[in-house]
Amino acid sequence: MTLSIEASGDIADAAVGSVPTEPKAKPSAKRTARIASAVTVTGLLLLWIVSAHFKLVSPVFLPSPAAVLWKFYSVATNGFVDATLWQHLLASLLRVFAALLFALLVAVPAGIAIGVSAVGRGIFDPIIEFIRPIPPLAYLPLVIIWFGIGEPSKILVIAIAMLAPIAISTAAGVKGASLDRINAARALGATRLQVIRHVILPSALPNILTGLRIALGAGWSTLVAAELVAATRGLGFMIQSAAQFLVTDVVIMGIFVIAGVAFILEIGIRRLERLLVPWAGKE
Amino acid sequence: MSFPVFGVPTPPTAGKATDAAVQPVDPMAHLVLDHVSVHYEGQTQPAVVQASISVKSGDFVVLVGRSGCGKTTLLNTAAGLVTPTGGAVTVDGRNITSPGADRAVVFQNDALFPWLSVKDNVGFALKLRGVPQQERDAAATRLLERVKLDGIGGKAIWELSGGMRQRVGLARALAAEPDFLLMDEPLGALDALTRERMQTLLLDIWAANSVGVLMVTHGIDEALLLATRIVVLAPGPGRIVRQMEAGFGRRYVGGEPVRSIKADPAFNRARAELEDSIFEGETA
Ligand SMILES: Nc1ncnc2c1ncn2[C@@H]1O[C@H](COP(=O)(O)OP(=O)(O)OP(=O)(O)O)[C@@H](O)[C@H]1O
Ligand SMILES: [Mg+2]
């Protein structure tokens, strides 16, 4: 129950995004926030540069920004633990997207079932509510016992983390579908299945995309845990291997790459939202 | 049952243009609400009691009455969207329990699908029947012409004005080739000028399509201008207090300008009488 509220809050935010709600105070407040962010980031960066330069912290623990940047270049070209940065990145991206595909195939129908039928709600609500709060590291061992240490287990661990956000957002979107539109379709001769396919699904699309965005975030943050197990490639694997040898610059570089990719994915999905649901917020 | 007849009833066959002449191809369809009662769950009072309405092809039946007297309930019952708790709804004697494409509904807030273009909205009923895209587009083009929206098929719904959206909603309903057109305050959201133009458009379409219309409105002039029969409802609980025949719409279809119809003293007399029956029993 609690997350349904959270999810709808997030959806409300997403819907409000393109509509100016607080016309007056907003622009200056936004600017203030931007300035504060810029100052913080610059400050942290300066602190890092200064402490690295004067060796306030041992370089083993805190390498300089220049060293990290250099590592980025060297791992990108020469590689680390038998693979270049791009190969690690590709391995991780493939895992996350395979997991996303799997999660979408399972969670969207489940979300629709929760939204359209009491039986569906009765079946899937408890499962989703059970999975939702469990940290991936907790079910990782069980997944390994059941499915071994191969690629499927890694993908499954990430996918499980993605199920709840997608299902909950989808269900919220389904419940929010306009009754008038559903009735209009029925009065034009739509069967129950046609109503779901042609009215409910498109109505829920904005929410499904929001769920997808949250899920990608969740999946991306589960990555390192998933790659703990018998991986030979992947950003999480790269970071862990580096940590074992105390190659801190690679660890930090890896963290920045993960953050950067997450940021790019976020922007990509917002683009996708604008492309797929251009009507959102225009009604 | 003898209803007072307003206006000069001109037979609908006297169309003002050849293509507007009503020659029903289908045998007459007949929608009947037979002593319909609706008691919503959890309500102390029924929304509608013992309401009987008959709509035949070529009828234009308008429901009027104060807010909350059950107009929407009755219309939705006729559509099959609400199941009556008493009485029955039949089409040509068959019992109605669910919505169907023979009774297309036009809603007050158009209820268009924003994820579809204008032409795909109009062709929606055909898509449900598996009609191929090309035929759907041709039909949509034709229907958009009929509601005077030529050439906007490729637009998005949110680019349209309220009046345009209502006309797209009308075209979408017509695409199903329904025997009956059920409309709940279809012009309620429009400004006065657009509303007047839409009223004549509704009459044109009604005359050209041999459909039976059941429509809810709050506009007394609108009811008088459009209806062949006006059904007056009273609240608490919702019930029919009067049904009266009218013929002003037929006069428009017969070629008389709206202005001259409204200038007719008979129109004013009818309006006074209709207002009286709507507010009958009310001490104000
Ligand atoms: N789904 C529902 N559940 C419970 N009660 C309802 C429902 N729909 C309508 N009612 C009640 O039934 C009565 C009739 O409502 P209805 O919407 O049919 O009136 P109306 O004549 O269309 O009013 P308006 O002119 O305001 O649209 C009202 O008292 C209303 O509160
Ligand atoms: Mg109503």
The nearest CA of chain A is from the CA of B60 a distance in Å of 19
List pLDDT tens digits, range A236-268: 899 989 888 888 889 999 999 999 999 999 999
The Å distance, Cα B107 to ligand 2 centre, comes to 10
List pLDDT tens digits, range B229-273: 999 999 888 999 989 998 898 999 888 898 899 898 999 999 999
Output the pTM of the full model. 0.79
Mutation to test the A interface, candidates B73, B107, B115, most A Cβ within 10 Å: B115
Contacts of B113 in chain A (CB under 8 A): 181, 198-199, 202
Judge: B100–A181 Cβ closer than 8 Å, yes or no: no
Q: Which domains does chain B have, with CATH numbers?
A: 56-244+271-279 (3.40.50.300)
Q: How far is CA B94 from the centre of its chain?
A: 21
Strand order across the B86-91 sheet? B48-56, B30-38, B86-91, B94-95
The answer to whether residue B22 scores a pLDDT higher than 50 is no
The answer to whether residue B15 scores a pLDDT higher than 60 is no
pLDDT of residue A56: 84
Name all residues whose Cβ lies below 6 A of ligand 1: B 40, 43, 47, 67-73, 238
Ligand 1 pocket mutation, candidates B43, B45, B83, B233, criterion most atoms within 8 A of CB: B43
Contacts of B73 in chain A (CB under 8 A): none
User: Is B182 at the interface with chain A, CB within 8 A?
Assistant: yes
Put simply, the chain B residues between 132 and 161 with a CB less than 8 A from any chain A CB are 156-158
Nearest CA to ligand 1 atom 7: B40
Alpha-helix residue ranges (DSSP H) falling in B29-91: 71-79
Q: Pseudo-torsion of CA B128, B129, B135, B141, nearest 10°?
A: -50
CA distance A167 to A129: 10
ipTM score: 0.81
| Percentage of the residues of chain B whose pLDDT score is greater than 70 | 89
Cα A57 to Cα A48, A53, A256: the distances in Å are 10, 9, 20
Q: What are the percentages of helix, strand and coil residues in chain A, rounded to 5?
A: 80, 0, 20
Contacts of A189 in chain B (CB under 8 A): 100-101, 125, 128-129, 176
B7: confidence class by pLDDT, cuts 50, 70, 90? low
B137: burial class by Cβ within 10 Å (0-12, 13-18, 19+)? middle
For domain A2-276, the CATH superfamily is: MetI-like (1.10.3720.10)
Could you count the other beta carbons within 10 Å of the beta carbon of residue A216? 23
Could you count the other beta carbons within 10 Å of the beta carbon of residue B148? 13
Could you count the other beta carbons within 10 Å of the beta carbon of residue A31? 10
In chain B, which residue's Cα lies nearest the Cα of A204? Answer: B115
The domain limits of chain A are 2-276
What is the DSSP track for B11-41?
Answer: -TTS-SSGGG-----SPPPEEEEEEEEE--T
Mutation to test the B interface, candidates A188, A198, A207, A276, most B Cβ within 10 Å: A188
List pLDDT tens digits, range B112-137: 999 999 999 999 999 999 999 999 99
CA distance B99 to B76: 9
A109 upstream amide cis, omega within 30 of 0: no
Buried b (16+ CB within 10 A) or exposed e, B182-219: bbbbbbbebeeebbbebbbbbbbbbbbbbbbbbbbbeb
When CB atoms are compared, the residue of B98, B114, B125 closest to A188 is: B125
List pLDDT tens digits, range A40-81: 999 999 999 898 888 888 888 888 888 888 888 888 888 888
Judge: A184–B107 Cβ closer than 8 Å, yes or no: yes
CA distance A192 to A182: 10
In chain B, which residue's Cα lies nearest the Cα of A206? Answer: B115
The minimum-distance atom of ligand 1 relative to the CA of B38 is 12
List pLDDT tens digits, range B209-221: 889 999 999 899 9
For residue B202, give the nearest of B177, B230, B169 by alpha carbon: B169
pLDDT of residue A26: 65
The nearest CA of chain B is from the CA of A207 a distance in Å of 14
Judge: A188–B107 Cβ closer than 8 Å, yes or no: no
Contacts of A202 in chain B (CB under 8 A): 113, 115
User: Is A201 at the interface with chain B, CB within 8 A?
Assistant: no
Token output for B96: 């109605």
